[in-house]
Amino acid sequence: MPNQLQEGILVGCGNPLLDISAIVPMDFLRKYSMNEDDAILAEDRHMPIYGELIESFSAEFLAGGSVQNSLRIAQWILKQPKVAVFFGCVGKDRYAEILEDKARSAGLDVHYQVREDVPTGTCAVLITGTHRSLCANLAAANHFTIDHLADPVNKAVIENAQYYYISGFFLTVNPPSIMQVAQTAHTNNRPFLMNLSAPFISQYYMAPLLAVLPYVDIIFGNEAEAQAFAEAQSWPSGDLREIGKRLVAFDKLNSSRPRIAILTQGCDPVLLFQQDSVQEFPVTRLLAHEIVDTNGAGDAFVGGFLSQFVQGKSLDVCIRCGNYAAGHIIKNPGCTYAGEPQFIE
Ligand code: AP5
Ligand code: NA
């Protein structure tokens, strides 16, 4: 059992989404012009997907939303409730109740902004074999406003935290809130962590991403996301090692704490970039029959990492715990876990 941590030491902001997950034939993806490993935002033409998944493919409902996933996983590993607090916007409906219930039973404290006139966001998870394609209908999540952070209780929560984590996904919703949290982290010399989240963020939201990047102490991403960033920046090489080096060298406000980049690449080693060094951390390969679905693997990796980082553990321990958590989540549907965590430092 780790030492007792300060309540609310970790704060995250993101899109609280209920995942509607089903195994579908390739034809279903083609019908909606989607690819096997997409992560996109729903347009009008995607709206029938959710109903179809429920009616024709006996979809499962699972707690989702990238940041909330990561914080739930961190809580599961930490075992001490309310170490992490989550901000995001939901509707006033059954889906919000499910999300809140899953978060609280994991020990995660949620401070949702509630919109009575908009439904809670959902994410269609279309599983084809070992691939998963995501289509997020942000709905209420898209209505998060900065005044929620000005609420005296929430303001105190942010001021008391020591670590901050926000997804790239949240850049599509409310960049001013991200900048405010980043500024608080900076003013108080506290770590601010971010995720590239999906290729479309670098493709379409580069301006707000570049605005916040100078505040980012640790940046996470997978191969495709790192490559999308490099392409959007017209960097000459698509080589992950080159991209990682450039990510850590990118402008940074607090130069006394050089940026760290952590890039995952599925079952290949995790790459840790610090100034001029690149280190590899091996991943224990899972056997085909052990894999339920990889949905949530990246989020769980971050959750495992955060659970150790907030305890001041070394990056080596943080990354090994990230790999442990991701491996566990892959053996379970969506971003869910079973039983007690078994991570050994
Ligand atoms: P999804 O993108 O599926 O989750 P993810 O956590 O990013 O998982 P991926 O499978 O994409 O992993 P990755 O590619 O990031 O990482 P990698 O494969 O390198 O999204 C899930 C959630 O996103 C949903 O719940 C949804 O609600 C939410 N979401 C979607 N759109 C959103 C939006 N607009 N706003 C907010 N939320 C949104 O793997 C990472 C690690 O996993 C590896 O380092 C390794 O440790 C492990 N690992 C991976 N593959 C293997 C393997 N074969 N064997 C062993 N370990 C493995
Ligand atoms: Na899974």
Domains of the chain in sequence order: 10-16+65-120+138-330 (3.40.1190.20)
Ligand 1 binding residues, C-beta < 6 A: 14-15, 17, 19, 39, 41, 64-66, 69, 123, 132, 134, 136, 167, 169, 222, 264-267, 270, 283, 285-286, 294-299, 301, 323, 326-327, 330, 335
pLDDT in tens, 11-48: 999 999 999 999 999 999 999 999 999 999 999 999 99
CA pair distance 108, 328, nearest whole angstrom: 19
Task: Looking at the CA of residue 264, tell me the nearest atom of ligand 1.
Answer: 19
- Please tell me the predicted confidence (pLDDT) of residue 129: 84
Share above pLDDT 70 across residues of the chain, in percent, rounded to a whole number: 99
The CA 283 to ligand 2 mean position distance, Å, reads 16
Task: Kindly list the protein residues that place their beta carbon closer than 5 angstroms to ligand 2, a single-atom ion.
Answer: 293, 295-296, 329
CA pair distance 209, 37, nearest whole angstrom: 22
Q: What is the mean pLDDT of the chain?
A: 96
**Residue numbers annotated as active site:** 299
In the predicted structure, residue 10 carries a pLDDT above the cut 70: yes
- Please tell me the predicted confidence (pLDDT) of residue 333: 86
Q: What is the mean pLDDT of residues 171-178?
A: 98
pLDDT in tens, 291-310: 988 889 999 999 999 999 99
Structure confidence at residue 2 as a pLDDT band (50, 70, 90): low
Lowest average pLDDT, out of 129-133, 177-181, 310-314, goes to 129-133
